[in-house]
A and B are shown apart, each in its own frame.
Chain A
Amino acid sequence: MKVLILGGFLGSGKTTALLQLAHYLVERSQSTQKTKVVIVENEIGETGIDDKVLRGSGLQVEDLFSGCACCTVSGELTSAASRIRKDFNPDWLIVETTGLAYPRLIRDNLQAALGLSSRICILVDASRWKRLLRPMYNLLSGQIVGADVVLINKTDLVNEETLAQVEADIAAFDPLPRVMRISAQNRIPAAVWAQVLGE
């Protein structure tokens, strides 16, 4: 079971991108596993919203509400991941984090508790980046540092100058992640998913 942690600030387009990714994985899979992808949907609120959207698309979803998997419900996440591996052993476990999570802490927890290595993909909202950067600086930088891939989303809503600035800010946080531009409202190319999945 491979693990992908999909993170990014609130409203960055995680669920929209995840819908595409999950269907991409299911469609191209050669695996004989009955369950190819399981999603753990972590929401900070006390009621689920995105899980309904994902289930409505026919995906297998496990809920983790009312806390953040990087801290307050980290134990519940490792329990869920262990159970999913035992019960389904899917090709991929995708953890959609809350918009307040630091994904590398989740990666560290899964590694320490279960020996699972994870990839981290962070989504960034290009249209709100400038407005959020100062008040949310610690959170935005903390989410990006240590990521494998950063997807700059909503590129259709901003100009080239803004995109170049977002890329420069991301590189200043951490020069190592592969940074790619997308618009999750449209079809995301397979080449992007190959980078996200580390293929």
Chain B
Amino acid sequence: MEKHDHSHHHHHENDNCDCPACKQEQAQPNWIKMHQHDDAAVISARCTFLARPETAGDVIAEALQELAAVIAEKGGIIGHIKATLESTTLEMFSLTDRAVSRKKQPNETMTLQLVAIVFLLVPEEAKKLVEKIVLKKLQSLS
């Protein structure tokens, strides 16, 4: 029943893993990684981009829907696709006397973190689909 793949390297978020590969990856704003666990392809990704907050959520929802549709068309089974979107607002305040000048950037720096677990697809193909359908679309917003 239980066969397990122990082949991929483990690190835990915020663990400050000292290995060079992890240090390099953690420093990068964008990355995508894939590993296999039993019969599942596990794709993890982070993507940082600039966008208007009122539109970013819709773009992501549409991209994830498209990803799910393509996976199904290709005969894959979605275990789950989950993502979080965090944003940083930058507002500058300045004054030389008593009047405060405020400037807010229309775009926010956004970070999408995504995990897609897919069965019955070639893992590399699943990874490419995430790159093409989700990540490139978000990077093109910047």
Contact = CB atoms under 8 A, between A and B. Distances in A.
Contact of A10 (B13, B46, B117): B117
A136 B42 contact: no
B127 to A, nearest CB: 12
A46 B117 CA distance: 11
Contacts of B14: 63
Most chain-B Cβ atoms within 10 A of its Cβ — which of A45, A105, A142?
A: A45
Interface stretch (A30-38, A66-74, A147-155, A178-186): A66-74
A71 B44 contact: no
B137 interface: no
What interface size band does chain B fall in? 20 to 34
B40 interface: yes
Contacts of A99: 79-80, 117
Interface of A: 9-11, 43-50, 52, 63-68, 70-73, 76, 99-100, 102, 105, 131-132, 135-136, 138-139, 142
Given A47-B46, A135-B120, A66 B12 contact: yes
Contacts of A44: 37, 40, 42, 115, 117
Interface in B8-49: 8, 10-14, 33, 35, 37-38, 40, 42-46
Contacts of B42: 44-46
Contact of B6 (A63, A72, A105, A142): A72
A102 to B, nearest CB: 6
Task: Report the 6 A-B pairs with minimum CB-CB distance, sorted nearest first.
Answer: A45-B115, A10-B79, A46-B44, A71-B4, A10-B80, A49-B82
B38 A45 contact: no
B12 A68 contact: no
B18 to A, nearest CB: 16
A43 B115 contact: yes
Contact of A63 (B10, B13, B78): B13
A139 B46 CA distance: 29
Interface in B107-142: 113-115, 117, 119-120
Contacts of A65: 11-13
Contacts of A132: 77
B60 interface: no
B2 interface: yes
A142 B1 CA distance: 7
Given A44-B42, A44-B117, 12 more contacts: A46-B35, A47-B44, A47-B114, A47-B115, A48-B113, A49-B84, A66-B10, A70-B2, A72-B4, A72-B5, A100-B38, A100-B79
Interface string B80-97: 101110000000000000
Contact of B117 (A45, A102, A142): A45
B35 to A, nearest CB: 8
